[in-house]
Amino acid sequence: MSDNVRNALVERIKNVQAMPTVPPTLLPLLHMLELPADQWDMRKIVDLISCDPSLAAQCLRMANSPLFGRSRTITTIHAAVITIGTGRLWDLLTAFCLMDLAPAEQWLLDPLSFWEHSFGCALISRHLAQIVGFSQPDKAYAGGLLHDIGEMVNSLLFPKEFRAAADLAFTEEISLVEAEQYVMGISHCEAGRLLADHWHMPEDLAQVIRCHHHEVAPTPEHAALVMIVSLADLLCRVRGMDYGYYEAVQVDLVADPAWLYLVREFPRLRDVDLVRLSHELDDYASEAKRIVAAVFRTDSK
């Protein structure tokens, strides 16, 4: 691909008219993560939800769903927030924000597979963060959830080119990032970073989006977060939690840059029982499917 074509693609991304708009409650939700969950201001969260009719309706629907087994009907946002509980609240609120980002017909990848991969990566990122003692496990969850958001950008803005890249990935069983570089000269990481800047996302999450395939090195202060999500993404793909196609992932875990970084910075990772971890990954795959089914209501079809 010539530099001219690549530059034209970058220019198209920078055209603010064409970029997806940030869901109004997403940034306040991301900023909540600067504090631990036990310090969140519930009054502010209730106000935030109440200002967004779609989010409010989703919260009430979820609180009244069989998932929470309440005998009485929940009718207020405050009661819905208490019912859902802080443990799941942030996960569900961000899911509700993201689910309407793009209409299903505009996705070139299967959106359910995409979100199952993203939620699976989010759950595993948080788990890895807890294992290694990273101070912001919920931030790792957010990084996992958003790391591939650039694929949505490529899908919406460059449908023809992204279709060709996806076809190449499917037929050659290679990673999407390789196929995108080959066909488009711009990966979902670069496209995602432009979206992250356009949305004024926190810098640590923007670096997760840009650096999770090691195309560019993160800055030292955000490297741990990036590497946790990068490793979680790799584990997801190895376990078949990918984008709905078979990817022949050749993994030498102990030679992977993310693993090497993390065992150096968090030596306790060396003691992790990898067999047990792989069983836990299967549990997270099921949990990711449950979240996506509940949020996207595929369970009721």
Residues that bind Fe ion (CB under 5 A): 148, 233
Q: Which residue, 148 or 161, has its beta carbon nearer to Fe ion?
A: 148
Q: Which residue, 83 or 242, has its beta carbon nearer to Fe ion?
A: 242
Report the 10 Å Cβ neighbour count for 263: 16
Q: How far is the CA of 38 from the CAs of 33, 77, 94, 101, 179, in angstroms?
A: 11, 19, 18, 29, 43
Q: Which residue, 81 or 229, has its beta carbon nearer to Fe ion?
A: 229
Whole-angstrom Cα distance, residue 37 to residue 243? 31
CB 233 to Fe ion: min, Å: 4
Q: Which residue, 62 or 189, has its beta carbon nearer to Fe ion?
A: 189
CB 125 to Fe ion: min, Å: 11
Q: Please list the helix, strand and coil fractions of the chain in percent, rounded to the nearest 5, in that order.
A: 70, 0, 30
Whole-angstrom Cα distance, residue 62 to residue 58? 6
Whole-angstrom Cα distance, residue 273 to residue 269? 9
CB 116 to Fe ion: min, Å: 11
CB 154 to Fe ion: min, Å: 11
CB 231 to Fe ion: min, Å: 11
Nearest in space to 177 (alpha carbons), one of 237, 102, 113, 131: 237
Whole-angstrom Cα distance, residue 137 to residue 229? 11
Q: Which residue, 49 or 109, has its beta carbon nearer to Fe ion?
A: 109
